[in-house]
């Protein structure tokens, strides 16, 4: 795993912190208008419902043979599959891109098997992508945060999510949580100074100057520490794979 790829995976996990909504401040409004506002669907819910309806129409058209509709589905959901399903589990941007292309091909071949559910098309696409990633892990020796056994269990869980109708937001949340859990396990196995450098620069996304100040070193020294930290993380992940 190169430093660039390691950073990409770690930044993915950090993004889950940014996705949390800000806490509301100030007193809540009272009265009939407030009651109506509470009862009415939020803008986010209305937007989600509209997007899901668009997905449903595209799926109907795609199952009828409309390749443009299928392309729209993949264009919409492909980036999320890449960021939260493939890249964390394969550990390499190149491998994740190859897996995404294979996912698109598998979807093209098997979309006739898809049956619309209220949760939308993403959970089905997620299962397909996980199976592609599992095939990739089994066929290649890679240093990744996930092992084939981990991903095999994740595929089973994703299939259960699909059957239960779990929506895209919960799928994304679970995938990010799984990546963070594995990352924290790996960070716990390396020198804590190295782990702190990774958390400061990659997870918290501090600038080089800020991260160096937090660690109490100069910027050039911090760059060296971070490089060694990512190498240590790579070795820790590899050690877990060889002893599993």
First to last CA, the chain: 19
Q: Is this structure's pTM higher than 0.85? A: no
Give the model confidence (pLDDT) of 32-50 as tens digits. 333 433 444 566 778 878 8
pLDDT at 111 over 90: yes
CA 220 to each of CA 209, 223, 226: distance values in angstroms, whole numbers, following the listed order: 10, 5, 10
Tell me what the mean pLDDT of segment 52-70 comes to.
92
State the pLDDT confidence band at 105, using cuts at 50, 70 and 90: very high
pLDDT(205) > 60: yes
**117: pLDDT strictly greater than 50:** yes
What does DSSP assign to residue 204?
S
Q: What's the whole-number mean pLDDT along residues 204-211?
A: 86
Render pLDDT for 79-88 as a digit per residue (tens, 0 to 9).
Answer: 989 988 888 7
1-11+46-176 adopts what CATH topology? Rna Polymerase Sigma Factor; Chain: A (1.10.1740)
Residue-range domain boundaries for the chain: 1-11+46-176, 188-244
CATH of domain 188-244: 1.10.10.10
Instruction: Please give the structure tokens belonging to residue 207.
Output: 């600038």
């Amino acid at each position: 795993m190169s430093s660039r790829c390691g950073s990409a995976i770690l930044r993915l996990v950090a993004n889950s912190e940014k996705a949390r909504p800000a806490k509301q401040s100030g007193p809540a409004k009272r009265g009939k208008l407030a009651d109506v506002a509470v009862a009415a669907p939020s803008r986010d819910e209305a937007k989600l419902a509209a997007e899901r309806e668009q997905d449903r129409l595209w799926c109907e058209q795609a199952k009828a043979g409309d390749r443009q509709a299928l392309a729209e589905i993949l264009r919409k959901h492909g980036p999320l599959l890449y960021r939260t399903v493939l890249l964390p589990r394969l550990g390499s941007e190149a491998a994740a891109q190859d897996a995404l292309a294979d996912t698109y091909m598998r979807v093209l071949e098997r979309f006739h098997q898809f049956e619309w559910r209220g949760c939308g098309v993403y959970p089905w696409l997620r299962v397909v992508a996980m199976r592609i990633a599992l095939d990739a892990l089994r066929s290649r020796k890679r240093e990744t945060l996930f092992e084939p056994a981990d991903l095999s269990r994740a595929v089973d869980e994703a299939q259960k999510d699909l059957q239960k109708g779990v929506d895209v937001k919960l799928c994304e949340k679970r995938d990010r949580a799984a990546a963070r859990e594995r990352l924290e396990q790996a960070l716990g196995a390396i020198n804590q100074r190295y782990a702190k450098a990774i958390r400061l620069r990659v997870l918290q996304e501090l600038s080089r100057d800020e991260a160096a100040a937090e660690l109490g070193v100069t910027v050039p020294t911090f760059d060296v520490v971070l490089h060694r930290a990512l190498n240590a993380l790579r070795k820790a992940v590899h050690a877990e794979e060889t002893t599993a």
